[in-house]
Amino acid sequence: APDPGGQLADCQLHHTRKLLPRPPPPDPPRLPQTTHRDVAEEPSPPQAVRLAIADLQPGTQFQRMIPDSAENLAPTEQVRKLVFCSGKVYFDILAERNKRAGEVQTDVAISRIEQIFPFPFDKVRDEANKYPNAQVVWCQEEPKNKGAWAYIEPRVETALRDTRGVRAKYAGRVQMAAVATGYKEVHDRKQAACSRAPVGPRRAARSLAASTTR
């Protein structure tokens, strides 16, 4: 994916919006949220073709940010990490988290920023305040010097400045001269490492609730 810096500047100039929605099924109806230009689309991974028709029915609306609603998410005060991301990398992180947690509670929350510009300061602030003890992380599949990180970092800091006063940490690929590695084996290895980075090391397969009673 190209560096979105120029695209975001173009959004400011022409008063348009930049969205990175969930990868949709083939040929979905376009959400009436952008003007002047189309949203750059990404190919849909098999695990992402789950957009419910109910999400597009009358009475629904576009969500600037989608919070974590996992049933096995630990109580908010026990969540140790809040991962913000956008686009299909969410499904890679989710699969890694599910593989780590199994049927045990997970202490990693994953929230999707669906609208990059204008930045949803209020949504990010409310989501971070929900988990008072969590480290805030941004994850992307692009290298660190590409993607949205340079745009996201100062805005997350601004959103949390008057409440938690924390800064977002980066989790993902290191800086690279090119987005693509050119070798599938290397790409797959880096992609797997990217999805592991925000989740953290494997933990013992036991309930977080049980661990707090000792």
More confident residue, 141 or 163: 141
The predicted pLDDT at position 184 comes to 86
The predicted pLDDT at position 132 comes to 93
Beta bridge mates, 172 = 140
Position 191 pLDDT exceeds 70 = yes
81-85 and 18-19 beta bridge pairing: unpaired
- Cβ atoms of 97 and 110 closer than 8 Å: yes
Residue 109 neighbours by CB distance under 10 Å? 24
Q: What percent of the chain has pLDDT over 70?
A: 67
